[in-house]
């Protein structure tokens, strides 16, 4: 599909949409996130007091942040979001909630300037628009979304012909002392009030900065939209995948949570909603001891996005 669209990978066009969410909607999303953060603690980390759990587990994107995303951003939330976007759009199945609570750092060790390296968004080789929404103030102090100002900096991060990004997180960290001086003098860092959003397309290079100060808290979520005219340029299996996800977000979230090891939430959903009973045998087939270990021993590991939705190969649909 991407080869059918004329892309300008040197574009730095983005738009700030003030009051994308109103105050009551900000409060609604914020409370939903806080509720599930506490629920995850109760399910898997009851032996930790809340402050220790929260300050330890929510510093970077990891397994728990993916579980949080799939628990919170359900069909009810997307119904609210869809009212604010182009009616001729689908929601891309990859979406994220980021809750970053930064510790005070006593070490003088040089840390990367960016929390999220400069990159392009081309998952499933789809052309999409990303919305990055703040639920608390986002700025240089908390860390925030950023965009290169010039072609010179963009050229350092251009993807290859298959639209694979030049750097992954590990490679950026290894090279950050060389790259960060170039980045610091040549990016726009966006300040957002709660409820405001930044929107950009797949052809725009972007990243997110690290918090300037310890003890800062940033809560944002992002999602992508795909115009129908662009989706229908894709392969048939991708078209079906996106259409099916949009028709039943909750089923897809449920199966992602099962694959991430969140069997306690899934058990509750089976008891609560008859629609999920058909997956009971699948859930029972999961090794609960292994799932416990997956979450408790490896909560800070970041799952590869390519592993998500792997259950679509199981012929559930």
pLDDT in tens, 112-132: 999 999 999 998 899 999 999
Q: Is 95 among the domain residues?
A: yes
Q: Is 161 among the domain residues?
A: yes
Q: State mean pLDDT over 153-179.
A: 94
Q: Is 100 among the domain residues?
A: yes
Mean pLDDT of the chain: 90
Q: Is 308 among the domain residues?
A: no
Q: Token pair of 189, please?
A: 């860092």
Length of the chain counted residue by residue: 317
| pLDDT band with cut points at 50, 70 and 90 for residue 291 | low
pLDDT in tens, 21-72: 999 999 999 999 999 999 999 999 999 999 999 988 888 788 899 999 999 9
Q: Is 119 among the domain residues?
A: yes
Q: How far is CA 156 from the centre of its chain?
A: 24
pLDDT in tens, 210-261: 988 777 899 999 999 999 999 999 999 999 999 999 999 999 999 999 888 8
Q: State mean pLDDT over 136-142.
A: 94
| pLDDT band with cut points at 50, 70 and 90 for residue 265 | very high
Q: What is the 3-state secondary structure (H, E, C) of the chain?
A: CHHHCCCCCCCCCEEEECCCCCHHHHHHHHHHHHHHHHHHHHHHCCCCCHHHHHHHHCCCCCHHHHHHHHHHCCHHHHHHHHCCCCCCEEECCCCEEEEEECCCCCCCCCCCCEEEEEECCCHHHCCCEEEEEECCCECCCCCCEEEECCHHHHHHHCCCCCCCCCCCHHHHHHHHHHHHHHHHCCEEECCECCCCEEEEECCCCEEEECCCCCCCEEEEEEEEEEEHHHHCCCCHHHHHHHHHHHHCHHHHHHHHHHHHCCHHHHHHHHHHCHHHHHHHHHHHCCCHHHHHHHHHHCCCCCCCHHHCCHHHHHCCC
Q: Is 194 among the domain residues?
A: yes
pLDDT in tens, 64-110: 999 999 999 999 999 999 999 999 999 999 999 999 887 655 555 67
Q: Is 225 among the domain residues?
A: yes
* Count of structural domains, the chain: 1
| Among 10, 58, 290, residue whose Cα is nearest residue 159 | 10
Range of the domain at 215: 2-20+84-237
| Among 111, 101, 29, 94, residue whose Cα is nearest residue 60 | 101
Residue 258 CA neighbour count, 13 Å, CB half: 25
CA end-to-end distance (rounded Å), the chain: 24
Q: Is 116 among the domain residues?
A: yes
């Amino acid at each position: 599909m991407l080869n059918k669209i004329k892309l300008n990978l040197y574009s730095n066009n983005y738009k700030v949409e003030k009051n994308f969410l109103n105050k009551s909607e900000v409060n609604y999303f914020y409370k939903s996130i806080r509720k599930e953060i506490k629920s995850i603690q109760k399910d898997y980390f009851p032996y930790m007091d809340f402050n220790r759990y929260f300050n330890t587990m929510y510093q970077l994107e990891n397994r728990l942040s993916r579980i949080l995303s799939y628990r919170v951003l359900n069909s009810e939330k997307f119904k609210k979001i869809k009212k604010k976007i182009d009616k001729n759009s689908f929601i891309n199945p990859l979406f994220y909630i980021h809750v970053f609570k930064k510790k005070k750092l006593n070490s003088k060790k040089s840390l990367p300037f960016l929390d999220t390296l400069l990159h392009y968004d081309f998952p499933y080789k789809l052309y999409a628009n990303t919305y990055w929404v703040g639920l608390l103030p986002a700025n240089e102090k908390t860390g925030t979304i950023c965009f290169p100002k010039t072609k010179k900096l963009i050229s350092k991060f251009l993807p290859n012909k298959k639209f694979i990004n030049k750097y992954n997180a590990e490679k950026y960290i290894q090279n950050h002392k060389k790259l960060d001086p170039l980045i610091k003098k040549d990016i726009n860092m966006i300040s957002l009030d709660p409820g405001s959003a930044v929107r950009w397309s797949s052809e725009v290079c972007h990243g997110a900065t690290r918090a300037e100060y310890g003890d800062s808290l940033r809560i944002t979520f992002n999602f992508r939209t795909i115009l129908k005219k662009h989706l229908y340029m894709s392969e048939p299996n991708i078209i079906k995948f996106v259409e099916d996800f949009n028709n039943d977000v909750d089923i897809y979230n449920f199966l992602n949570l099962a694959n991430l090891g969140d069997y306690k939430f899934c058990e509750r959903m089976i008891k609560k909603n008859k629609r999920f009973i058909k997956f009971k045998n699948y859930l029972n087939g999961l090794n609960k001891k292994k799932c416990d270990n997956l979450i408790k021993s490896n909560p800070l590991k970041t799952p590869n996005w390519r592993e998500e939705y792997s259950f679509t190969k199981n012929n559930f649909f």
